[in-house]
Structure formats: C-alpha cells, structure tokens
Chain A
Amino acid sequence: MTTTKDQGADHGAATGAVAAGSPASDAFAHQPLWKVRLALWRRSLGKTWGLFRENKMGMFGLGLILLFACMAIAHPILMATVWDPKIYDPVTGYSAVELQFVIVEGEPTDPSTQISLQEARLRLNPTVKVGQTVTIPVQPAPPSLKGPNPHLLGTDPQGRDILSQLLYSTRAAFFLGAVAALTTVLIATTVGSIAAYFGGFIDGSLMRLSDLILLMPLLPVLILVSALFEINMVMLGLMIGVLGGFGGVAIVLKAQALSVKVKSYIDAARVAGGTHWHIVLRHIIPNVLPLSFLYMMFGVTEAIAIEATLSFFGLLNVPMTWGIMINTAQNNGYLLSGTSYWWLLFPAGLAVTFLCFGFFLVGRGMDEVINPRLRAR
C-alpha cells in the first residue's frame, strides 16, 4: 500500500501551495473533516431550502405548521403568566360565565341570547315573564371578551376554556405526529432498504408481512386494541408508526431502494470490498432518506387524523386532545345543534383539518424538491 505517510499536521502546508480556485472549496482546504462535512451539510440544506421556498403551497403549509407550533408553545406560557389554572386548566378548570338572556315564548330561535320561559322559570324563579332580561350562569358559554376572565373561544359544556384546550391539544398532536412519523420512517427505511438489498428470502418474508399489515384495516384494529387496553399517546404513536412502517411506506421505500441498488456505485462499493452493512448504511439508506422524510410528513397527517377519530370515540386514555373536545360536545348532545354552539366543534375540527393540511402541503412541496421531474422548469 502506498498511502503517503504525511501526518495531519503537514497536510495544511501541502495543500496550501495550490493556487486559489473556487472560493467554496478553497475554504475547506485547511479544516478538519468534520467541519467540512458540517459546512457541506449546511450548504446542501440551504440549497434544498432555496428550492422549497419557491414552492408557494409548501411555504403556505409550513406557515400553517409554524402557526400551530406557536400555539403549542403559547399554552404553557399563558398558563404560567396570565391564565389562572383554577379557571383555565384545559382539564380541571371551571368557570361559569354569567350571561344575559331575553325570555321568549316557546323555543328560542337564538339559544345564545334567548331562553324559553319554561327553562327560565326552572333555573331562576317562577315569577319571570316573557320579554324580561335575566342573568344566568351558563356552560357552554359563547366566546366573549367581557368579564374578569374572558373566554376568547367560549367554554365547553363542563365550563372549561376552549382556547386553553385547543392550545394544549396542539402540543399533544405534534407529539403524537412526531412519534408516529419517526417510528414509521425508521422502520420503513430499514425494512425497505434491507428487503431491497438482500432480496430472496429476507425480502420475501418482509414483504409478506407488509402485505399482511396492508390487509388489516388500520382504524378498526386500533379501535379494537384501544378498547382492550388502556392506550396513551406514546403507545398510540408507536402503534401507528409500526403498522404504517411495516405496511405501505415500507413497500414504497423498497421500490426506491431497488432503484438505488441497481446503480453501478453499489457495484463499485462491493468491488472496493464494502460489507453489506457498509453498502446499506452508506449508499442505500442515504438515497432513500429524502423519500422517507416525505413520507414522514404524510405520516404525521395520518397519525393526527387517526388520533382524532379514536379520541372522538373516547377510546384513548389521554387528558385532552382535539378529538376529545369534539367528543365532549357530542356526549353532551351539542354535535347536532348546528351552528348555534359552533365554538364547541369548529376550533377543534378546523385545527385537525389545518394541521393535517399543513403537513400535507409541506409533503407535496418536498416531493417537488426530491423529484426533479415534478419541478417546474
């Protein structure tokens, strides 16, 4: 072997003799390798960001996600500063808002400002009359800025602040999405790469497992599992991740890994003497990873939607999520009340929709960065 015996210390002097070339590469010449790698990594990240920025929908999605992130961060801050936990805690807080109602004959047309004579007599005293304005403490209370403890998005049927619940749940949604998506991607990348590279029996067994998981309807299975066992957010995230990771995403990533496997740089690595692990870790996985990230985005979307569904059915052992907020409204009979009690349904419903939408758009935006074919000229 003829590797030169120059030591690292001389290395700067040896390379410094060469005339200046491109400034970008020149800057690397005297630095330790890890610094060079960091700089290269940052540069490629910058390039990817530059491409992503041109995608308007992706940027809109990112904006949505950032908005939700701000909401998630805002909750503990608000709880520590302006919100009194007795009143504003998303689970244990309570506040009865006193509102003014006009007593009407028969059924009220606007339940937030009118009350029927019958009910008014029941809740106050039998002497009230139609047309009279009365003050009654109510829950759920509509959004209002008035009073010493304003509820910007009103309260739920148990007198808890909706805004507080909404912000608190955002954090839970992010957490769940992250756990599920990371698990999915970790498993799917490994399974896909290994199945594609080794082929044969390993590929066959992993793919049959994928088929099996694909055949299982995800939601009913999760409903069944959560009915049998007590499930918290971490477990739910892991379950969604494992099922997703071994299922469809693994198959997609395997297809990508297969297209990498036939490239001649894989042969070059083998001729160099590279072990299977070297090839999988250094060549296949890095080339599958961008697609993995893409599926991570879609994975977050899926996890949030599944969580909302499960907690709507009241099957999750978690303190508060968007699904539970809707579930509370439903349990108290407000689900079919139309838009009269909109603050019980819309904030949570829209939050689920927009956060999913945001991740989906970012995923699509990344898709265009990763697949140059989709990129507009």
Chain B
Amino acid sequence: MTLSQLSLEARQVDPSLPLLEVDQLVMHYKIKAGSVSAVDNVTFTLHQGEAIGLVGESGCGKTSVALSLLRLLPQNAQHISGEIRLNGENLLWLSAEEMRQRRWKDIAMVFQGAMNSWNPVYRVGDQIREALDTHYRGVMTYAEQRAHMEKLFAAVGLPADMLDRYPHEFSGGMRQRAVIAMALSCGPQLIIADEPTTALDVIVQDQILKELKRIQADLGMSIVYISHDIAVIAEVTDSLGVMYAGNLVEYGPTADVFARPRHPYAYLLLRSTPSITGPRRKLAPLQGEPPDLLNPPTGCRFHPRCPFATERCAVENPPLEDIGGGHKVACWHWDQVPELEGLQR
C-alpha cells in the first residue's frame, strides 16, 4: 500500500469490470425455534464506479446482505452457500484477521444512526486517526495524517477545525458527513451505506445524498445503498435490487425498474409509495403481512400476498430471469404485471 492510493483523486474506473460479485448467497440465522432463512439465493454484480441499491421492507434480508459483505454478521448467523467476491477474491474464505484488514481499507461502511458510530469521549479527528493508524501504521507522519484528514473533511463539506471537536458538538447531518469522511479515510473502493439518511430530516438527507453522489463521481467510488425508502434509492443509484423475504425478486437498471416494475411486489411497492410530484396516483396497499422466515412459504415467497399468483407459484420458486437489458425478475407471471403509467390518473 502506498500513499498515492490514499489520495482523494479520482480512481481509474473501468465500468465494465466487476468489483463486487454476490453469487447465490444463502444465509440462515439459528435461533432456538429453528433456522431463519434470512437471505436466500441472492445474486448481483456491482461494477467499478457504480452505485446499486437494495430496497425492501424490514426483515427482507437487505441488512443481512450488507453485513455479509462486511462479514459482520452476528454469532448465530450461518453461511449456507454462495460466494461474495471482491475483485475476484472470495471474502467468505478469508480468515477473520484478513477480513479485518480488508474492512475500511477495501470496504468501508456508513451505517444508520451516526451517533452510535462515534465514541463520545474522543475527538472525531482522533478517531479517524485511529483508523489510519490501524491500516497504515508508519506510512504517514502525524502532519501527513492531519493534512489527509483535512482533505477528507473538505471532501464531505466540513470545516477542518471540526476535527478537533467531540461528536456531541456535531449536528445530525454533520455527524453523518463525518461518518462518510471516516469511511473514505483509508481509501476504500467500495462503501456499504446501510440506511445512511434514515434518521435525518429531509433537507439534511438531501444534502447527504448529494454529497455521496458527488463523492461517487469524483473519486470513482462504488457504493451499495441499503434502504427501506425506495425514493432515496431512486435518487442515487444506477442499478436497483428489490428484496422480499430473503429473495432478490427484481434487479435491473434503476430507471428501468422504476418505469416498468415487472415483479408484482416491486410493482405494488411503487404503487403504494406516495409522491409529492406528478398526478395523485391512487395508492394501492399491499394485502397481508410479510411471511415468517422460520417457515417461509413454499414456492415463490410472495405468492400468499400476490394478486397474480397461480397454483404454480405455490409449488415452484421462480428463478431470477433476464427479461432483456439486464432487467431480471423472479416471477412466473412477470408479463402479466400491468404498466405503472396506465394507472396514474
């Protein structure tokens, strides 16, 4: 590792090269009552410099995927099968120590609830310095570290003197900016942003999302966004995956998925999301409740709530199929899902 890799200049990006490949990932949680099938057969690819989003409701497995990428899953999680490859290297085969070195340096994270990311008794600057010390011991002098951190803060729109402040002196938005600076500190290629703006007010959320978008473009960063808020995902991502009950049910270019959602769940999710622009669409609530993943439904996991379900759906689980243009859907009846536009009135 050399200093140059830590510089905050644009990385050479080849959008055709895959950076992160998640291949048929299956993940269970072991609890007393049995085995919870949290992630079931999730496959997607993130190219260099790209931003993708995973969207879904609570319990759909999106956070479990994010934690799997970082290998930060709780003790009772069991990796059943599948691979997670970063630059072709399977992260699931790395030892705990090797993985610890990858974190921050190759993959960094921006989590929900920025207050919890900081230790309240240390200055923010010192906490970032600690990360630098861990991964680049002896590479930088104290002054170089300081200069690097000042550049980081400038990159996320914070004044340099905030480095000497304590976390409680930051407002919610500033704290989240500092978290992003921390994530960038060791020069990662990939950032996992799990609900990065959930606790923030709209105006601050907007500022943070713009900041992340700018950083992605300026530094050639790749970002995986995890959110329950489909509108947030729509703003910032190139590709989008919709998750339901541990399954990736639809995946494709964000604009495509939004214009023509082909999975009934994605379609209904969009239909039930209120918007402040455009005509007032009639909102359609989804019937029923998400399934119990201790005993997931047979066949397609969405079939008990699906208005298009047939007998086949209750028996056979549909594979994720490409329906053209990289738009993939896991549904037997994707061609029956109506157009979204036709329903606007």
Contacts and interface: CB of A to CB of B under 8 A. Distances in A.
Interface in B53-77: 74-76
B31 to A, nearest CB: 6
Interface in A355-377: 377
A22 to B, nearest CB: 15
Contacts of A377: 31-32, 74-76
A335 to B, nearest CB: 51
The range of chain A's interface size is under 10
Nearest to A377: B76
Interface in B1-58: 31-32
Interface residues of chain A: helix, strand, loop or mixed (majority) = loop
Interface residues of B, number: 5
Nearest to B31: A377
A111 to B, nearest CB: 57
Contacts of B75: 377
Interface in B74-88: 74-76
Nearest to A376: B32
Nearest to B32: A377
Nearest to A375: B32
B27 to A, nearest CB: 16
A368 to B, nearest CB: 14
Contacts of B74: 377
A377 B31 CA distance: 6
Contacts of B32: 377
A377 B73 CA distance: 14
Contacts of B76: 377
A274 B140 CA distance: 64
A377 B76 CA distance: 8
Interface in B156-202: none
Nearest to B30: A377
A377 B75 CA distance: 9
B13 to A, nearest CB: 42
A369 to B, nearest CB: 14
A145 to B, nearest CB: 49
A154 to B, nearest CB: 49
A377 B33 CA distance: 10
Nearest to B76: A377
A377 B30 CA distance: 9
Interface in A159-205: none
A377 B34 CA distance: 11
A217 B74 CA distance: 45
A85 B118 CA distance: 72
Contacts of B31: 377
A50 to B, nearest CB: 11
Interface string B232-262: 0000000000000000000000000000000
A375 to B, nearest CB: 10
A377 B78 CA distance: 14
A224 B31 CA distance: 55
A377 B32 CA distance: 7
Interface string B215-231: 00000000000000000
B156 to A, nearest CB: 34
A216 to B, nearest CB: 34
Nearest to B74: A377
A116 to B, nearest CB: 66
A153 B75 CA distance: 51
A377 B74 CA distance: 10
Interface string B73-114: 011100000000000000000000000000000000000000
B78 to A, nearest CB: 13
B139 to A, nearest CB: 40
A21 to B, nearest CB: 15
Interface in B261-281: none
A377 B29 CA distance: 10
B36 to A, nearest CB: 11
A130 B210 CA distance: 104
B120 to A, nearest CB: 20
A334 B75 CA distance: 55
A51 to B, nearest CB: 10
A377 B77 CA distance: 11
A52 B117 CA distance: 35
B263 to A, nearest CB: 32
Interface in A53-83: none
B286 to A, nearest CB: 22
Interface string A109-145: 0000000000000000000000000000000000000
A253 B196 CA distance: 37
Nearest to A54: B32
A346 B292 CA distance: 56
B68 to A, nearest CB: 18
A161 B74 CA distance: 58
A331 to B, nearest CB: 55
A49 to B, nearest CB: 16
B218 to A, nearest CB: 43
A253 to B, nearest CB: 27
A120 B74 CA distance: 75
Nearest to B75: A377
5 contacts: A377-B31, A377-B32, A377-B74, A377-B75, A377-B76
Q: Which 3 A-B pairs have the closest CB atoms?
A: A377-B76, A377-B31, A377-B75
